[in-house]
Structure 1
Amino acid sequence: MAAEGIHARPATALIRLVKKYKSIVSLRKGESTIQLNSMLNILTLGAKGGDTVTVLVDGADEAEAAAAIDNFFTEELKTL
């Protein structure tokens, strides 16, 4: 994540990825938790480079969604 936070291109790609699944995907930073379904929610979270962010996945296809999100953060984010 860039020092200033998640910028538009990776945030948009992450939202598109999450929308492929039926599971509800949320991000938690400290005491704040947002549903990962809009750019506004991501901006509201205010995550910056170096912050610890937890991904929460709940639903029928949560294993597949979690694997895809893990791949996004470990592999695809490098190319954006």
Structure 2
Amino acid sequence: MSERTVSVGSRVGLHARPASLFVQAAARQPVPVTIAKPGGDPVDARSILMVIGLDVRGGDEVVLHADGEGADAALDELVELLATDHDAEVPS
């Protein structure tokens, strides 16, 4: 089983748009992925309600787990997504 710990880069945490982007990316992975706060119960990373229910705020750490062929690559992609501030102003 592969595991990664990452600090959430979006200022609002895993709510609204950042949560939606994360859940969509998790659903595209070839392996099941779970997400949890350190020491907390893991939830299915493909469920928007479960992810929002974690109440993850900007700067909080989360732990991702995946198992199976392609788990490391899947987690690497998701870690990069979580570390990015998706709420930053987009230049026009």
Asked if these proteins are the same fold (TM beyond 0.5), I'd say: yes
**What is the CA–CA distance in structure 1 between the aligned matches of 2:31 and 2:23, rounded to whole Å?**
13
Percent sequence identity is: 25
* Closer/same/farther in 2, CA of residues 70 and 5 from structure 1, 3 Å limit: closer
Q: Which has the higher contact order (CA 8 A, sep 6+)?
A: 2
Paired residues, number: 77
Unaligned residue ranges in structure 2 (runs of 5+): 1-9, 88-92
Q: Displaced runs of 4+ in structure 1, greater than 4 A?
A: none
Cα deviation for residue 44 of structure 1 reads 2.0
Q: 1:45 aligned to 2:51? A: no
Which of 8, 18, 32 aligns to 2:41? It is 32
Greater helix content: 1
* RMSD value, Cα: 1.9
Point out where structure 1 has 5 or more consecutive residues left out of the alignment: none
